[in-house]
Amino acid sequence: MLDANMQGQLKQYLANLREPIELVATLDEGEKSAQTRELLSEIADLHEMVSASFDGSNGRVPSFDIVRASDPSRAVTFAGLPMGHEFTSLVLALLWAGGHPPKVDADLIEQARALEGKYEFEMFFSLTCHNCPAVVQALTLLALENPKVSATLIEGGTHKDEVERRDIMAVPATFLNGETFYNGKMELSEILAKLDTGAADKAAEKMSAREPFEVLIIGGGPAGVASGIYTARKGFTTGIAAERFGGQLQDTLGIENLPGTAYTEGPKLSDELKKQVAENTIDMMDLALAKELKPTDVPGGLHEVHFENGAVLQARSLILSTGARWRELGVPGEAEYRNKGVAYCPHCDGPLFKGKRIAVIGGGNSGVEAAIDLAKIVGHVTLIEFDTKLRADEVLQAKLRSLPNVEVITNGQTTEITGEGGKVNGLIVKDRETEELRTIALEGVFVQIGLVPNTEWLRSSGIALSKFGEIEIDEEGATNLPGVFAAGDATTVPYKQIVVAMGEGSKAGLSAFDYLIRNEPVEDIAQAA
């Protein structure tokens, strides 16, 4: 099951075990069970503190429990093999069950341990989902740190019948005590915020107690992090407040166009950026959604940013890098069937549509790449482009045309997504030339029509926005408001690329530096007078 290299790496990790763990499997005679038996046996052979037994009684077959031998209440269950993107999750589960301390903020650990009540989590993942490991690892940690929490982590490809029965059409899909808890990626802090009703108030109080920053960055994607690195290295007190650290990186799989890095993945790059933020002593505030900007009208004065949790932060200069999100079609049925056939991440949800008919909406690079990837998994792909021709790179178009199970419709307008029994069953597309309507029977719709900037919260701030809602900036990243700069996908800068965002963020950071050295703090001016 594990090659020699993986066995060697795992053996090194298992050397960090502090106490024995037990692997208890529930198996049958099937192929998946045989693979599970092989994997667990190999793991047990790598370290004397690991034992494996195959007499479990779990209702899901195959499955296995990872149990702390000294305290059986500290356990987590995997139903199916956690390989692919989830192999790291398996390694961490083994280490944490064996007493190795997690590299997680101590406050979060204490919050997890203090949870009252009983929480039974079931979470469905796919082996190709790059958003799933965050949820798997968060729930694993909760279950191992708090005996009142149980976590069963289910690989959808192994338990297809259950996936169908529970109408799961997008992962990660998390259930709590039998009811839907959340669909999508969640970090440990986000899960705890939903479970701990007093968490938001505590976070707001802690945020508001901070002294004014010299530089406050709103947004934790590549642009925001680049800005923060530059201003922190200049010696200015710098804070980053982000709704979700990493932004769109968390939803990006393969990255092959970042100079100096042949290949990486969005979540991995996000983790590296987070480490760099910590190394530069930048004050990182996650789960902080900005709702209002009150700019100062005095050069050197303090801008105020108000957040959804009630917190208020002040800063002499601001850098706005709130990024963008998937653009929605805005047609009937889209919202109703979201996660019930309507999806936005082909990498995450594609495997759930194996052998089925799907449509991809959008003929740019993202749409064509999605169609190419999905064609390997699904039965048939219909790609629909609003324009009279595809806008993707020619090399991608050529690849698309070579695929036998793909139909391309240009000059087509999707007018409605239809469904029955709570699931998508088709869509209606209008020929923009003839206005003829066509109904296409299918089971899934992947929307890939670009991005919309996260700038709605700025509309009453006085900051200039383009007709597309983008923050208008000059060649130095400055907005129309003194001391307020912007960078990344939320701005008017062309070419929404990671490397462009990093460069624009660096520029905005340097511009903020220039502003600060040319404008003394108002309080210092008052004292001098």
Task: For the beta carbon of residue 199, count every other beta carbon within 10 angstroms.
Answer: 17
Name residue, tokens 């209440």.
73
Distance CA 123, CA 186 (A): 12
Concatenated DSSP letters of 214-245: EEEEE--SHHHHHHHHHHHHTT--EEEE-SST
What pLDDT is attached to residue 523?
64
Distance CA 291, CA 446 (A): 30
Confidence of residue 522 (pLDDT cuts 50, 70, 90): confident
Q: In the predicted model, is pLDDT for residue 529 greater than 60?
A: no
342-449 adopts what CATH topology?
FAD/NAD(P)-binding domain (3.50.50)
Strand partners, 155: 125
Q: In the predicted model, is pLDDT for residue 251 greater than 80?
A: no
Distance CA 344, CA 355 (A): 19
Name residue, tokens 């802690």.
206
Give the CATH number of domain 201-325+454-528: 3.50.50.60
Residue 323, CA atoms < 13 Å, CB-side half-sphere = 26
Question: Are residues 312 and 306 in contact, defined by beta-carbon separation less than 8 angstroms?
Answer: yes
Cα–Cα–Cα angle for 38, 41, 45, rounded to 5 degrees: 140
What pLDDT is attached to residue 526?
47
Q: Average pLDDT, stretch 416-443?
A: 96
Q: Per-residue pLDDT tens for 384-419?
A: 999 999 999 999 999 999 999 999 999 999 999 999
Segment among 25-34, 143-152, 253-262, 329-338 with least mean pLDDT: 253-262
Mean per-residue pLDDT of the chain? 94
What is the residue type of 357?
A: R
Residue range(s) of every CATH 3.40.30.80 domain in the chain = 4-196
What class, spelled out in words, does domain 4-196 have in CATH?
A: alpha beta
Sign of the dihedral defined by the CA atoms of residues 486, 489, 494, 495, in that order: positive
Q: Average pLDDT, stretch 264-282?
A: 93
Residue range(s) of every CATH 3.50.50.60 domain in the chain = 201-325+454-528, 342-449
What is the residue type of 15?
A: A
Distance CA 12, CA 266 (A): 26
Strand partners, 154: 79, 124
Confidence of residue 525 (pLDDT cuts 50, 70, 90): very low
Question: Are residues 286 and 217 in contact, defined by beta-carbon separation less than 8 angstroms?
Answer: no
Distance CA 192, CA 190 (A): 5
**CB contact set of 182 (below 8 Å; sequence gap of 6+):** 174, 191, 194
Question: Are residues 240 and 217 in contact, defined by beta-carbon separation less than 8 angstroms?
Answer: yes
What is the residue type of 241?
A: A
Q: In the predicted model, is pLDDT for residue 198 greater than 90?
A: no
Question: Are residues 204 and 290 in contact, defined by beta-carbon separation less than 8 angstroms?
Answer: no
For residue 411, give the nearest of 358, 342, 363 by alpha carbon.
363
Segment among 56-65, 247-256, 274-283, 302-311 with least mean pLDDT: 247-256
State which H helix or E strand residue 370 sits in.
helix 365-375
Question: Are residues 118 and 176 in contact, defined by beta-carbon separation less than 8 angstroms?
Answer: no
What pLDDT is attached to residue 57?
95
Q: Per-residue pLDDT tens for 347-370?
A: 778 888 999 999 999 999 989 999
Burial 292-312 (b: 16+ CB within 10 A, else e): ebebbeeebbbbbbebebebe
Q: In the predicted model, is pLDDT for residue 524 greater than 70?
A: no
What is the residue type of 35?
A: Q
What residue ranges in 11-74 does DSSP mark as E strands?
Answer: 21-26, 50-53, 63-68
Q: Classify burial at 263, counting beta carbons within 10 Å of its beta carbon; exposed 0-12, middle 13-18, buried 19 or more.
A: exposed
Q: Per-residue pLDDT tens for 136-195?
A: 999 999 999 999 999 999 999 999 999 999 989 889 999 999 999 999 889 999 999 899
Confidence of residue 1 (pLDDT cuts 50, 70, 90): confident
What pLDDT is attached to residue 101?
96
Distance CA 458, CA 464 (A): 9
Q: What single-letter DSSP state applies at residue 143?
A: H
Question: Are residues 243 and 289 in contact, defined by beta-carbon separation less than 8 angstroms?
Answer: yes
